[in-house]
Copies of this chain bind each other. A is one copy, B any other.
Amino acid sequence: MGLARIIAPPDLVIGVNTGDDECFYGLHVSPDLDTVMYTLAGMANPETGWGLAGDTFDTLEMLRKYGVDAWFNLGDRDMATHLRRSQLLRGGATLSSVTAELSRALGVEHTIAPMSDDSVKTVVTTAEGDLAMQEYFVKRLAEPPVESIRYVGAESAQPSAAMAGALAAGGMLVLCPSNPFLSLGPILAVPGIRRGLEAFSGKRVAVSPIVGGAALRGPAAKMMAELGHEATCVGVARQYQGICDFFFIDDQDAESAPAIRDLGIQPVIASIIMESEADKVSLARQILELADR
């Protein structure tokens, strides 16, 4: 959101994880694409982090009456997004073109690019067995200890045209602060994207999702520990070795700067906890300032 506020639509491509995409109630749901789209459209529900502000849940309640185990919440207006997407996909459209059409209809002018138009499924292997990403995250509240994560289909997936174009165009690349395994992992698992990041001609910047040893949101820290990684900003930076030039860490993690420098990544110490829209814009500006550095 911060970057979109200060970068003109033609100059920003937002590459989005689709490893969470899943079929619910017969519809193709793309949780991350929708969260980005609703956020940029100013329609997102700020309390939940998913769905539309003020949405109702009548369809879901009725599905439960039909005996459906409707554990994945989809609001009534949100449902229209999945209905429309599913119908267009079934008609042969790509996820990229569907996303463009839906975004345009909601007045979003920046390009929201699915990482790939091919199916990639994030599968979390836990003590309870293999769980699809939403099953792990929403149904099981990220509670079962994680043993490993894989991205089914990633090996043969192609980057979407917008994603490939952005990678080839150069400029600046930003890995936003998000779960390195669940949100960025699937994107980086697409070979064409990883190669594009490795060969990227401009500056590559990442922002730590971990501050002071705790994730700002979600189970990133818990999961990193379970997977045997250091649950710190340094642990995250290590994931991005070879694809990252600058790594933003929070003021309170200033002492980690040398360890990050040792990874061949330049640490940038800043205030990276974003509460308000002003915080988001401020961080985005600091990132863009690196272009001249």
Binding site for B on A (CB under 8 A): 25-27, 55-56, 58-63, 65-68, 75-81, 83-84, 86-87, 90, 101-102, 105-106
The number of times this chain is found in the oligomer is 2
Cβ A105 vs Cβ B67 within 8 A: yes
The 6 closest A-B pairs by CB, nearest first: A26-B87, A62-B80, A58-B76, A62-B77, A63-B80, A76-B76
Given A58-B55, A58-B56, A66 and B80 contact (CB-CB distance below 8 Å): yes
Residues of chain B contacted by A83 (CB below 8 angstroms): 25-27, 59, 63
Kindly state the separation between the CA atoms of A62 and B54 in the bound complex, as whole angstroms: 13
Kindly state the separation between the CA atoms of A79 and B57 in the bound complex, as whole angstroms: 12
Chain B nearest CB from A145 CB (Å) reads 33
Residues of chain B contacted by A68 (CB below 8 angstroms): 84
Q: Which of A25, A61, A67, A83 has the most CB atoms of chain B within a 10 A radius of its CB? A: A83
Which residue of B is nearest A55, CB measured? B58
**21 sampled A-B residue pairs with Cβ under 8 A:** A26-B83, A26-B87, A27-B83, A55-B58, A56-B58, A58-B58, A58-B77, A59-B59, A59-B76, A59-B79, A59-B80, A59-B83, A61-B80, A62-B79, A63-B80, A63-B83, A65-B105, A65-B106, A67-B101, A67-B105, A76-B79
Which residue of B is nearest A23, CB measured? B87
Kindly state the separation between the CA atoms of A250 and B101 in the bound complex, as whole angstroms: 56
Kindly state the separation between the CA atoms of A101 and B67 in the bound complex, as whole angstroms: 9
